[in-house]
Chains A and B, each alone.
Chain A
Amino acid sequence: MIIKKIEINNFLCYYGTDNIFEFADGLNIILGENGEGKTKFFEAIVWLFEGGSNFKSKVSAKALKEAERGSEFEVSVVMEVEQYDVIKTVKRSFVVEKEDDADDFLPSSPQIIGIIESKNGEREKVDGEKLLDTIFPPEIRKYSLFKGESELNIFDNRDALNHLVNSFSSAKHYEKYVSIGSYLKKKSEAAVDKEIKNNSNKKNEIELLKVGIKSLEKEVKNYKEQIEINEAQKIKTEKEIKDAEKFVENADTLKIINDRIDKINHDITREEGRIKENYTTFLFDESWILSNYESIHQEFSDKINKLQKDRRRLQKNFDIEEGKRRGKEELTEEFLNGSLPLPIGVPSKIHMEEMIKEKICKVCNRPAKEGSSAYKFMEKRLKEYLAKQKPKVEKKQIDRILFENNYTQKLLNLSTSHENSLSSLRNIEAEIKDRFQFNTERKEKIKLLKEELENEIEDREKVIGKSSVGEKKLISIVKNYTGWQRDITRINKKISELEQEKKSADQKLREKIDQKEAIDMESASSFLTATRKILRDVEIIFRETQEAKYDEFIQKLEEKSNSIFQEINIDDFTGTIKLQKKILMGQPQLNIELHERDGIYYNPNQSLVTSMHMAILFAISELASELKNESYPMLFDAPTSSFGETKTKEFLNLIYETKKQRIILFKNYVGKDKNGNQTVKNEFKNVKRHKAFWIKRHRPFDKVDLSTINTNVISNI
């Protein structure tokens, strides 16, 4: 889309209906001194795009004064554009009716109308707002109109990055998946929790873990935020320091002293890091608590040795008793007259049963009545045989033993193993002494280093004292400089502490989550836990894909910005633009940093900052063109006031080469001739452009009477 024409009628200083700007496709420059109507031109465009309730204040004072009482005139801004070979016009306007009272008037309601003119010349009236959004979509407009240098940093506000990504990156399309992923993950987790709550006897434990997890998550988040805040503070302070250093005359000496101070600070940090004073922890981790344990061990060892002896003695006595008892039992089994009995199983079981049943001893062929000694003998022989057939274990069970357990032996083993480690217990006292001595030495060394540091800081103050600014300001710089240096040390320490604490909280959180997972795995059905695992993975995939798209966009923007930046600053020092995504208070933000070889470049001049911002804006414009298959005009009001004339010329020539429609309002190149009249300087001839305008107030005019002000537009200068 290109803007073909802007007409401004009876709008502020643009009196009448002859204020027409017919633009070329390419670089259009509007020159004008301060107060000649540049800003009013910009305001007219903004009013056309956005409207607004204070339209009554836009009426040209001159038009109002010159109108007849009771007559009407129109206030309007008209934009004619060409989009895909079709001419489209948008007009915002209202009618003013001058009342009888000379100073008052009655405006009609403002309206916006659109007209589309087809190739065959037919004109069709359409909804103005809709047409405006078609020809110049609002998300594009946001990156197309800029007033002054300060507005060029579009990332100054918090949701700038989100807005940019939502407008120009495919990352926005992943948002819906991320939401679904998060929803499904929560559902699956709730399902597992519900089942455990209903079925598990560990529901109380789970509840406790959940509370713990929630609180630790909060803690981790809190640490994260504090780290971010401290890091932001550090960057700010480092910038203050670099700014202050600009005033110092003997910069080399300052650098040497600062390097020495850095080294001393580094040494102090290192020595401090070597001091290990968590003595309470050492009680356990280094077994210091066992330093007095030897006597207890001795007591234990004596007790167990005595126990062992007692036990052996008892066992011996028991064995003797048992031996006697067994001897007795065997004795009762001896046969009559000392003769040996027949082997068990002779006669066989079947024959024995047959003889008992028939009550006859078939070995000696005599009757054996029930109850008789022969009958009982046969019964006993059968029982013996049957007992012999049973498994051996049963036989064992009926053996008598004195000790069921052998704790004595186990305790003896423990005592021996502790005996072997006695030497390390004896060393504990020496270890404690060594540690105390080591720490004392470190502390003494730190004390010396701190004295050295004080001296260096004094020297530094002397160097800063010889600076190029006035005495009063100097005192403040010296005071602040030292303070900032201290702040940096303090902030670094704080960040490192916070990181440690965050790490520790992270560990605890992981531990609790693992505990909960373990209970989940044993208490919930495998279907639910498996589903949860899948949905968790799905959530991660969605989220990481969106983040990757986000990062891809930022990387592309950075590459494009740097390439344009190099072109704008050709032959000059540029550095590299770094776009860094940071999450602050849960929201992604984009930090723009200018880097030199050694890191952040803290003191770029305004012109470098402006070209950096312009480069980013042009890069966004290119990305927008790629996305929409269409390029859009950009309008800048005094964007480069910090540029000198040479740089301005080079900058404009570069924009000229891009062959994209840019409208730039400048006060440069307007000077005064020898009669004191405004004139366009000769140097402007060297500025390449496709079209140029000069706006200036019609002279003479009354400085205190607005109704004498009327800006004239001079085209094709």
Chain B
Amino acid sequence: MDDLFQKWKDKVPNYSKKFKDLFNSISAKGGAEGDKKISLGKHFSTNYELYIYAFFIGLYNNEHSPIPNEEKKINFSHHIRFWGNKSNRFDREDFSQIQEYIFTALIAKTDIDLIELDKGTISENEAVKELLLTLEAYTNGGLTLIKEKLEDNSNFFLQPTAFIDFMISEFSKK
């Protein structure tokens, strides 16, 4: 397991290029240019936070939506193993245990023959690839939901409770 989990953590998942603007507008990579985006809770302080959020939105709403082959995939060069690490982040807590919860969710949702994995007939690399595809598919689904929400109401995420509300309301709709 260590191998599988470790190998998976060494990866950088992709997202569809069509969400690049979404990342630019609601995550504040490298600090929020002094306009207190983070403290007001209106924005994510890093790209991977938005990525995680979108994944859970997709997961809770069962929006498994793989990135179509014709769409260009991009990423933000931040390995999963660093997600949520406290390191020197000011005024924040370590939440790296989230990596484990994402991983278990992916195991639950991915159609990998774990018996064959134990037998060694499927390699860890193949399994990790499948897990990543699941991660990308739910995230893609979550990002689509967020984008739709923004299209309906471009100011929705200006409220401090917006992301919480969205997570709870979307889930309760199901």
Which residues on A are within 8 Å of B, measured CB to CB? 212, 216, 219, 223, 277-293, 296-297, 299-300, 303-304, 307, 310-311, 314, 402-408, 410-411, 413-415, 418, 432, 436, 497, 501, 503-505, 507-508, 510-511, 514
Supposing A284-B52, A307-B114, A403-B119 touch, asked if A297 and B104 sit within 8 A by C-beta, the answer is yes
What are 9 inter-chain pairs, A to B, with CB distance below 8 A? A216-B31, A281-B41, A281-B92, A311-B115, A402-B119, A414-B1, A504-B91, A507-B89, A508-B88
Known: A284-B52, A411-B1. 19 other contacts (CB 8 A): A280-B41, A280-B42, A280-B44, A283-B49, A289-B167, A290-B56, A290-B101, A296-B60, A303-B108, A307-B115, A311-B118, A406-B118, A411-B107, A414-B100, A414-B104, A503-B90, A507-B89, A507-B90, A511-B88
Residues of the A chain whose Cβ atoms lie less than 8 Å from the Cβ of B1: 407, 410-411, 413-414
Report B52-89 CB contacts with A as 1/0, cut-off 8 Å: 11001001100000000000000000000000100111
Question: In the bound complex, how far is the Cα of B118 from the Cα of A300, in angstroms?
Answer: 17
Q: Is the CB of A289 within 8 A of B44?
A: no
- Is the beta-carbon distance between A212 and B92 smaller than 8 angstroms? no
* Chain B proximity of A519: nearest CB distance (Å): 15
Q: Among the listed stretches B11-19, B129-137, B158-166, which one makes contact with chain A, having 4 or more residues with CB under 8 Å of it?
A: B158-166
Contact B84 A284 (CB under 8 A): yes
Asked if A404 and B120 sit within 8 Å, CB to CB, the answer is yes
Complex contacts, A508 vs chain B, CB 8 Å: 30-31, 88, 90
Give every chain A residue within 8 A of B49 (Cβ-Cβ): 280, 283-284
Closest to A418 in B: B104
Cα separation A297 to B87 with both chains bound (whole Å): 28
Q: Is A300 within 8 A of B107, CB to CB?
A: yes
**CA of A291 to CA of B98 in the docked complex: distance in angstroms?**
12
Contact residue among B2, B4, B56, B90 (Cβ-Cβ distance under 8 Å from A289): B56
Instruction: Determine the chain B residues whose CB is within 8 A of the CB of A216 once the complex forms.
Output: 31
> Is B115 in contact with A212, judged by CB distance below 8 angstroms?
no
A299 and B53 contacting across the interface, CB-CB below 8 Å: no
Which residue of chain B lies nearest to A315 when distances are taken between CB atoms in the complex? B118
Cα-based distance from A429 to B114 in the complex (angstroms) = 33
CB-based closest 5 A-B pairs: A410-B1, A404-B120, A300-B108, A285-B93, A511-B88
Q: Does B117 contact A (CB under 8 A)?
A: yes
Q: In the docked arrangement, what's the CA distance between A127 and B120, Å?
A: 100
For B121, the closest partner residue in chain A by CB is A404
**A289 contacts across to B, CB distance below 8 A:** 52-53, 56, 98, 167
- Are B114's CB and A407's CB within 8 A? yes
* B145: interface (CB < 8 Å): no
Q: CA–CA, A105 to B137, complex, Å?
A: 98
Q: Which residues of A contact B101 (CB under 8 A)?
A: 290, 293, 418
Query: A300 touching B105 by the CB < 8 A rule?
Result: yes
Q: Which residues of A contact B34 (CB under 8 A)?
A: 219, 223, 501
Name, among B1, B40, B100, B160, the residue most crowded by chain A CB atoms within 10 Å (CB to CB). Answer: B1
Residues on A with C-beta less than 8 A from B53 are 283, 289
Q: Of all chain B residues, which has the CB nearest A436?
A: B161
**A391 to nearest B CB, angstroms?**
24
What's the minimum C-beta distance from A368 to chain B, rounded to whole angstroms?
Answer: 46
Cβ of A411 to closest chain B Cβ, rounded Å = 6
Q: Using Cβ atoms and an 8 Å threshold, which residues of chain A touch B36?
A: 497, 501
Interface centre among A280, A287, A497 (most CB of B within 10 A): A280
- Residue B144 at the chain A interface, CB threshold 8 Å: no
Bound together, the chains give a CA A514 to CA B88 distance in angstroms of 10
CA distance A511 to B56 in the complex (A): 29
List A contacts of B100 (CB < 8 A): 414, 418
Q: In whole angstroms, what is the CA distance A507 to B89 when docked?
A: 7
B167 contacts across to A, CB distance below 8 A: 283, 289, 291-292
CA distance A413 to B30 in the complex (A): 37
Residues of B close to A510: CB separation below 8 A: 88
**Are B95 and A284 in contact, with the CB atoms below 8 A?**
yes
Determine the main DSSP class of A at the interface with B.
helix
CB pair A300 B104 closer than 8 Å: yes
B39 at the interface (CB under 8 A from A): yes
**Does B95 contact A285, Cβ atoms closer than 8 Å?**
yes
Q: In the complex the two chains form, what is the Cα distance from A413 to B1 in whole Å?
A: 10
CB distance from A207 to the nearest CB of B (A): 14
Taking the complex as formed, is B9 at the interface, i.e. its CB lies under 8 A from any CB of chain A? Answer: no
CA distance A291 to B56 in the complex (A): 10
In the bound complex, residues from chain B placing their C-beta under 8 Å from that of A278 are: 38-41, 160
B42: chain A residues at CB < 8 Å are 280
Q: Is the CB of B88 within 8 A of A287?
A: no
Q: B97: which A residues are within 8 A, CB to CB?
A: 287
The CA-CA distance from A507 to B109 in the complex, in Å, is: 38
- Tell me the complex Cα distance, A66–B159, Å: 89
Q: Which residues of B contact A307 (CB under 8 A)?
A: 114-115
* Bound Cα distance A307, B101 (Å): 19
Q: From residue B9, how far is it (CB to closest CB) to chain A in Å? A: 14
User: Across the interface, which residues of A come within 8 angstroms of B114, CB to CB?
Assistant: 307, 407-408, 411
Give the Cβ gap from A324 to chain B, nearest Cβ, in Å: 20
Q: Considering the chains assembled together, what is the distance between the CA atoms of A277 and B163 in angstroms?
A: 12
CB pair B118–A405 under 8 Å, yes or no, is yes
**A592 vs chain B, min Cβ distance (A):** 33
Among B87, B91, B160, B171, the residue within 8 A (CB) of A292 is: B171
Q: Measured between alpha carbons, how far is A498 from B107 in the docked complex, in Å?
A: 45
Q: Given A307-B115, A410-B2, check contact A432 B164 (CB 8 Å).
A: yes
Q: Please give, as numbers and ranges, the residues of chain B lying within 8 Å of A285 by CB-CB distance.
A: 92-93, 95
Flag if B115 contacts A310 (CB, 8 Å): yes
- Chain A residues lying within 8 Å of B90, measured Cβ to Cβ, are 503-504, 507-508
B163 / chain A contacts, CB cutoff of 8 Å = 279-280, 283
- Say yes or no: B108 contacts A281, CB within 8 Å: no
* With known contacts A289-B167, A299-B109, A501-B34, A407–B98 Cβ distance under 8 A: no
In whole angstroms, what is the CA distance A304 to B103 when docked?
13
Whether the Cβ atoms of B120 and A405 lie closer than 8 Å is yes
Cα–Cα distance between A280 and B36 once the two chains are bound (Å): 13
The CB with the most chain A CB atoms within 10 A, among B44, B107, B160, is that of B107
Q: A287 with B98: in contact, given A212-B30, A299-B109, A404-B120 (CB under 8 Å)?
A: yes
Which of chain B's residues has its CB closest to A310's CB? B115
Closest to A215 in B: B30
Assess whether B43 is in contact with A296, with CB atoms less than 8 Å apart: no
Whether A283 contacts B30 by the Cβ 8 Å rule is no
Q: Which residues of B contact A279 (CB under 8 A)?
A: 41, 160-161, 163-164
B residues near A290, Cβ cutoff 8 Å: 56, 98, 101
Kindly supply a per-residue 1/0 record for chain B positions 15-50, scoring 1 wherever the CB is within 8 Å of any chain A CB and 0 otherwise: 000000000000000110010101111111100010
- List A contacts of B31 (CB < 8 A): 216, 219, 504-505, 508
Closest to B89 in A: A507
Residue of B nearest to A287 (CB): B95
* A424, chain B: closest CB distance, angstroms: 11
Q: Does A405 contact B40, Cβ atoms closer than 8 Å? A: no
Q: How far is the CA of A219 from the CA of B91 in the complex (A)?
A: 19
Nearest to A298 among chain B residues (CB) is B108
Inter-chain CA distance A404–B120, complex, in Å, is 6
Chain A residues positioned under 8 Å from B115 (CB to CB): 307, 310-311, 314
Chain B residues positioned under 8 Å from A408 (CB to CB): 114, 118
A389 to B: closest C-beta gap in Å: 30
Cα-based distance from A361 to B36 in the complex (angstroms): 96
Known: A289-B53, A410-B2. A283 touches B164 (CB 8 A): yes
Q: Known interface pairs A280-B44, A289-B56. Does A296 touch B104 (Cβ–Cβ under 8 Å)? A: yes
